[in-house]
Amino acid sequence: MEHLRRRALTIAGLLTAITFGGAAGFMIVEGWGFLDSLYMSAITITTVGYMEVHPLSQTGRVFNLFLLIGGVTTMFYIMATVTQIVLELELSDYFGKRRTKKVIDKLENHYLLCGFGRVGRGAAREMLRTGVPFVVMDKNPDRVERAMKMGCLAVLADCTRDEMLREVGITKAKGLIAALATDAENLFLILSAKSMNPMLNVSVRVAEEEAESKMRRAGADAVYLPYSMTGYRLAQAIVQPHVFEFLDVTSTTRMGLNVGIEQVRVDAECPMAGHSLRDLQLRREIGVIVLAIRRAGGAMEFNPPAEAQLDGGDVLIVMGKAEDVRKLEERMAVARR
């Protein structure tokens, strides 16, 4: 878009230069006032054919001849450039939308991020970090452009409309983040999304505490109150600063530490299934620490003992360096293949 902006500035500069240059010429050659000179310059450049403001001298006619030739040439150039800019914008928009649609049509088990405000941008950064496939939806063109500059796959769309949700593959999606401006919009979005994909995992932000129960009844799996959470973190930073620092380090990329908390699913076919943590020696062999095990039945086992056995469907909550966590995931992937 930068080259289009430069062209537009060039057009404005040429038009201004030829118009005011002609006006200055008439003021010098004929001795006219500024308004008469500017008017004569404008009707000459645009070739509208009106009569002369004042009779021209021989020198004035020669000057007007050159102004006419230069003005017509400039106007033709401007019209050609404007036409090219319009065509480029239309073609770029058309082919850009086609490419985006082709990519979206191929997605499966992806996530939908509805709303790209402050909360949505934070969610997008985390999803980019983890590398999961997702599509950003927002009806604000500036926000969509900002999402694209961040490297996101983004579309200009109203998330609350069913046809728009279908276009981004709601029926094939794995999860949805509702981060729209109001609780009413988020509630309507959840109802629409769940009706089209009942298996969808939905996470939503709410502004008012009273809306939490409504969101859960509508089908939200996780409900977050940004202001409440911010207050909690502020208090924790003062009351328990070391705990706060630990959580901050493991949940962000601050301090340059490549450490995070991730989840890894244990498949039934995985060789790790049926073995205890002592047998697997994940900390020694891979370099990750198992913080908890979410059992297939839904129970969460914190700080599991060495005798804890892994079964198919369990999810390991592990902490470690990104490359070590990827190593564990690769072993799982090898097992699935």
All structural domains of the chain: 2-101 (1.10.287.70), 107-224 (3.40.50.720), 258-336 (3.30.70.1450)
Q: Where are the alpha helices (DSSP H) in 107-219?
A: 118-130, 141-149, 162-167, 183-196, 211-218
Q: What is the pLDDT of residue 269?
A: 80
Compute the distance between CA of residue 178 and CA of residue 114 in angstroms, rounded to an integer.
5
More confident residue, 260 or 190: 190
- Token pair for 215: 């969101």
Q: Which of 56-60, 195-199, 294-298 has maximum average pLDDT?
A: 195-199
More confident residue, 133 or 248: 133
- In sequence order, what E strands does the chain have? 111-114, 134-138, 153-156, 175-178, 201-205, 222-224, 259-265, 289-294, 300-302, 315-321
- Spatial CB neighbours of 61, under 8 Å, sequence gap ≥ 6: none
- Spatial CB neighbours of 117, under 8 Å, sequence gap ≥ 6: 143, 179, 181
CB 112 within 8 A of CB 173: yes
109: helix, coil or strand? coil
pLDDT, tens only, 221-253: 999 888 777 787 788 788 888 877 777 766 655
Q: What percent of the chain has pLDDT over 90?
A: 34
CB 26 within 8 A of CB 41: yes
Compute the distance between CA of residue 204 and CA of residue 162 in angstroms, rounded to an integer.
18
Burial 278-313 (b: 16+ CB within 10 A, else e): eebebeeebebebebbbeeeeeeeeebeeeeebeee
pLDDT, tens only, 300-327: 999 999 999 988 888 999 988 878 888 8
CB 150 within 8 A of CB 179: no
Q: Is 39 buried (19+), middle (13-18) or exposed (0-12) by CB count in 10 A?
A: middle
Give the chain's mean pLDDT.
85
CB 66 within 8 A of CB 44: no
